[in-house]
Amino acid sequence: MKKEYPKTYIMRYMGSKIKLLDRIAPILERMVSKGDKILDLMAGTHSIGYALKPNHPIIGNDVQEYSKVIGIARIENNKVRLSAEDLERDIYPHLSKNKTYKLFQKYYTDTYFTKEQCVEIDNVRFAIDKVKDTKKKAIYLTALIYAMGHCQSSPGHFAQYMPKDHPRLKTLRKLSILDAFTKKLLENHILFSNFQNKVVSMDYRNLFTDKNIKKYLRGVKLVYIDPPYSPAQYSRFYHLLETAVKYDYPKLSHKGLYRQDRFQSDFCYPSKVSGEFDFIVSHASNIGAKVAISYSESGLITSTELKAICKKYFKKVRVYYFKHSHSMQGRGTIKNIREVLVTGEN
């Protein structure tokens, strides 16, 4: 019987593997033995780490801070689940006491959110900062990330907000951040395992060289790589989530009100992408791990080029093809997109 892998839905995320999990995860599991450590190098919403968590220690990394809190809540966390009583104690009493957290009201009123929704985000964020336990805080922040994705007046991401005459605006403007936040929190499906997992947040280039992180890479048997595959920078599409987590009053620019300090991934530049793959694949092979790369057939380089890069460092290289439909983030759905998984082992 086909195995169903655990799934955790946080938000609509460009390139999320949640719909391909039951096809990709068995291939990854066949490449390693039970208990072998897996590194999810560009983890996004951590869908792959969550699916593999029951049988493997997971190291998750992504350069975005919002991804780190999702990872702490869903991957590192092996003991904390929150309930209605926690909400009653940790969050609700503080909402009306907020006199200082005004970032969203000040920056984003009547853009991605209404004034009321911005006030709700600020109040919830204020209450979350009263929570001291890191895991609890990450679970609350993950619920806020879900709520912001659910209520936003934009087509599934934050690259631009909807014009005032958009037909869906009226409905989206009525949604309550607090209701969505509460609903996600009470869903409560966080899976625990007996393994020690670790989540970090850095440019993957530093991960392989950082003295403090190197110890976590010891014993990694498989590096799973799921990079951006188009010129669209994640830091532009999800900047508001980064700001909600950092709550740091950033300098903004452009009509979309992006953070000026947003990270630019070299995977989004046609002239740099093959160099990036070469760097990772060579480093994975240096630490004695196998590799598995997810990529789109409509990405910036071809699967033939990817295969050639893997062949430089690995003896056995295979390519798997998956057909699926792909959300265009508010511009409909493209059917029959081909996605590949290129694996390399020695």
Both structure tokens of 95: 């909402």
Q: Judged by CB under 6 A, which of 5, 8, 15, 59 binds ligand SAM?
A: 15
Q: What is the C-alpha to C-alpha distance for residues 41 and 182, in angstroms, rounded to an integer?
A: 30
| Shortest distance in whole angstroms from residue 113 CB to ligand SAM | 22
Instruction: Note whether 122 and 105 are within 8 A (CB).
Output: yes
| Shorter beta-carbon distance to ligand SAM: residue 227 or 256 | 227
Minimum distance from residue 203 beta carbon to ligand SAM (Å): 4
- The residue among 92 and 320 lying less far from ligand SAM, judged by its C-beta, is 320
Q: Is 339 in the site for ligand SAM (CB under 6 A)?
A: no
Complex with ligand SAM: residue 63 or 103, whichever CB lies closer? 63
Does residue 64 belong to the site contacting ligand SAM (CB under 6 A)? yes
**What is the torsion angle, in degrees rounded to the nearest 10, for the CA atoms of residue 154, residue 156, residue 157 and residue 163?**
-20
Q: Which of 155, 228, 250, 256 binds ligand SAM (CB under 6 A)?
A: 228
Rg (CA), the chain: 20
Residue 284: closest CA among 317, 320, 314: 314
Burial class (CB in 10 A: 0-12, 13-18, 19+), 271: exposed
Query: Which residue stretch of 44-52, 95-103, 132-140, 335-343 sits at the interface with ligand SAM (rule: CB under 6 A)?
Result: 44-52
Residue 17 CB, nearest distance to ligand SAM (Å)?
Answer: 4
Residue 304, C-beta contacts closer than 8 angstroms, at least 6 positions apart: none
Residue 213, sorted as left (phi over 0), alpha (psi -120 to 50) or beta, turns out to be: alpha
Q: How many CB atoms sit inside 10 A of residue 191's CB?
A: 15
What end-to-end distance do the CA atoms of the chain give, in Å? 30
Residues 284-323 that bind ligand SAM (CB under 6 A): none
Span interacting with ligand SAM, options 99-107, 188-196, 224-232, 318-326, rule CB under 6 A? 224-232
Binding flag, residue 227, ligand SAM (CB under 6 A): yes
To the nearest 10°, the Cα dihedral for 132, 137, 138, 144? -160
d(CA 302, CA 339): 11
42 is an interface residue for ligand SAM by CB under 6 A: yes
Sketch the per residue contact string, 176 through 195, with ligand SAM: x for CB under 6 A, - otherwise: --------------------
Binding of ligand SAM by 204 (CB under 6 A): yes
Residue ranges binding ligand SAM (CB under 6 A): 13, 15-17, 42-45, 47-48, 62-64, 67, 203-204, 226-228, 234, 265, 267
